Structures are given as structure tokens and as C-alpha cells.
Amino acid sequence: MKRIVLTTAAILLIAFLAGCEATPGTTPEPPAPAATSAPASVFPVTVTDITGNNVTIHAEPHRIVSLSPAHTETLYALGLGDRVVGVTEYCNYPPEAAEKPKVGGFANIDLEQTVGLSPDLVLATSLHVAEIVPALQERNITVFVGQPETVLEVLETTLSVGRVTGQVQAATDLVAEMQQRIDTVQETVKEASRPTVFWELGPELYTAGPGSFINDLITMAGGENVAADADSPWPQMSMEAIILKDPDVVVLADHNYGQTAEMLNERPGWADIGAVREGRIVEITDDDIVSRPGPRIVDGLEFLARALHPDLFE
């Protein structure tokens, strides 16, 4: 199977309050550092984050504050839960993460509370670059900014977090497992017909377009995004445009916010859409697995692939 590097995507999944494309039928190229025999971590170590800053970690961190649910899930997946001393209000997985001290919401971080936890490492996102990151740096607190925008970048960021925390081998093993599961999905759906998909982010009909993380998931799971030709990563479609596209499947990523399959029949003209007529409505009850760019994104990919191709995943 031919491999390609996935295109970069924009980040806008804050709408999920959770944290948060590949060419159809292809598998993302695994990151080069993910060798089968990774060297042990040696400190100091310098890693370049998404801001272009070279972040130097002088000693293995033991007090880590996470400013996003995805970072929190990555830390726990690497076996570092006991080193996490602060998280956001939305960090709810694994369940024990919710018991950690809170430093604010996803975007509105309490600076003094964060500093008061005496972290030797803070994991931030692009939402924190303008204010919280420089404020922490002024207080001589080491900050690594990571914000994966594609599945490939989730793997790369996992490896980077492994480096800055001294868990190189654990990160390498985790990425290898994730890649294997991704490959299995891609291999399973590669010969299947590709249903067209409308991914609903809200009742205002915002959706995921080209260059978005969700477009990545749809194509990797064996679907075709009806908004793939939009002019932005997160477009708002009209009722008429969706009816004209006539998607085979509608994914209600806003199910937790009150939207149901039954409600779609009440929308003008939607009863004639193939997905509604055939009952191919996917209600996502745990949108965290498709909106957080962390280790569980593979769970989201497998869930979506089963929803699009139930006959292949019995």
C-alpha cells in the first residue's frame, strides 16, 4: 500500500470543549523517530515545538501541568499520571485525571494557580501562545507547546512528549501500537466503496472541510467528506447545499448537545437525503474520542470505520 504524508490541518475543535486528511485509501507515513529501538532519554534534551521555539529540558520533569485534555491523556498513556500536578476542567480521562488540581478551563488558564503548583514542565497548546506561555516563561517555567492537527501529527507529538518527559521508549511503543491499529483500519477499508459523509458540528450546520482534523478521520475511515471542496477548514453549509450533496451518512458530532437522528426528519427537505431516508445516522455519544488529538484518536478512527463499513467490522 502506498504511503503518503498527510496534509496539515487547522485547529478549531474548541467548539467541542474537549481539546479538540489523508488521500482516500492511504496510510499516514509513521514519524521517522518511531524506530523499533529508540535510545533512552538523556537530559538535557532540546525539542522544537510548534511555535518554532527550541525547548530545552535540563532534567527529567516530575511536576507537570497539562493545559489540554489531549496532553493529559498522552501523559497518562505514557505512565506519567503520578507526575501530573495540574489539569484543566475538561481533563476527564482517565477518570483519575479529573481528581487533579484544576488550573482553569481550556482557554482561560489561571496563571497564578498554575505557577503555584511549582511545575517543572507545562504542556500547552496554540491557544495559550499569546498570553499564558510568555507569562510562564517570564517566571522561568519550561513550556512545551504542542497542537496536533492531523493523525500524523498526533503520532509526532506523542513522540515529542515522550522526549521532553523522559519516556522515549514508552512513547515509541505507544506510537507503534497506534500505527498498527491505523494500518489495520486502512487495510480493511481499502477496497470498499466510500460512502459520502456530512459531519455535523452543530445545528447551525458548521462542518469539517479540507485541511481539518475531521476530514482526516473521514477519509482514513473509508469515507468521502461532502465538504471536502469547501474553501475553509470549518465551513458553514446551507440546508440547500447539504440536500444537493445528498450524503450517504450523517454524523451527529453534536448529539451530546441535543441533536438526534429523529430531529433530522423534521428539517425541511432532509427526509429526501439518502442518509436520513436509509437511517444511516451516526450519533456520537463520546465526542472526546474524535475531537481530542491524543492516543484515543485511534479509538475514534475505529469507531467511525465501523459506522461507515459495518459489514467489514463485525
CATH code for the domain in which residue 258 is found: 3.40.50.1980
126 and 197, same domain (yes or no)? no
**Pairing mode, if any, of strands 3-4 and 27-28?**
parallel
Q: Which structural domain, as residue segments, surrounds residue 274?
A: 193-283
Does a structural domain hold residue 108?
yes
Per-residue pLDDT for 20 more than 50? no
Q: pTM of whole model > 0.75?
A: yes
161 and 217, same domain (yes or no)? no
50 and 143, same domain (yes or no)? yes
Does a structural domain hold residue 17?
no
**How does residue 40 score in pLDDT terms, banded at 50, 70 and 90?**
low
162 and 232, same domain (yes or no)? no
Distance of CA 157 to the CA centre of its chain: 11
CA distances from 288 to 126, 291, 298 (A): 19, 5, 12
Residues 198 and 245: beta-carbon distance below 8 Å: yes
Residue 41's pLDDT is: 55
227 and 167, same domain (yes or no)? no
Distance between CA atoms of residues 168 and 236, nearest Å: 41
104 and 143, same domain (yes or no)? yes
- 101-127 b/e (C-beta count within 10 Å ≥ 16 → b): eebbebeebeeeebbebebbbbbbbbb
Number of domains in the chain: 2
% of the chain at pLDDT higher than 90:
79
Does a structural domain hold residue 29?
no
Distance between CA atoms of residues 289 and 92, nearest Å: 12
As a whole number, mean pLDDT of residues 281-299 equals 94
% of the chain at pLDDT higher than 70:
87
57 and 172, same domain (yes or no)? yes
163 and 55, same domain (yes or no)? yes
145 and 242, same domain (yes or no)? no
Determine which of 20-29, 33-42, 57-66, 214-223 has the lowest per-residue pLDDT on average: 20-29
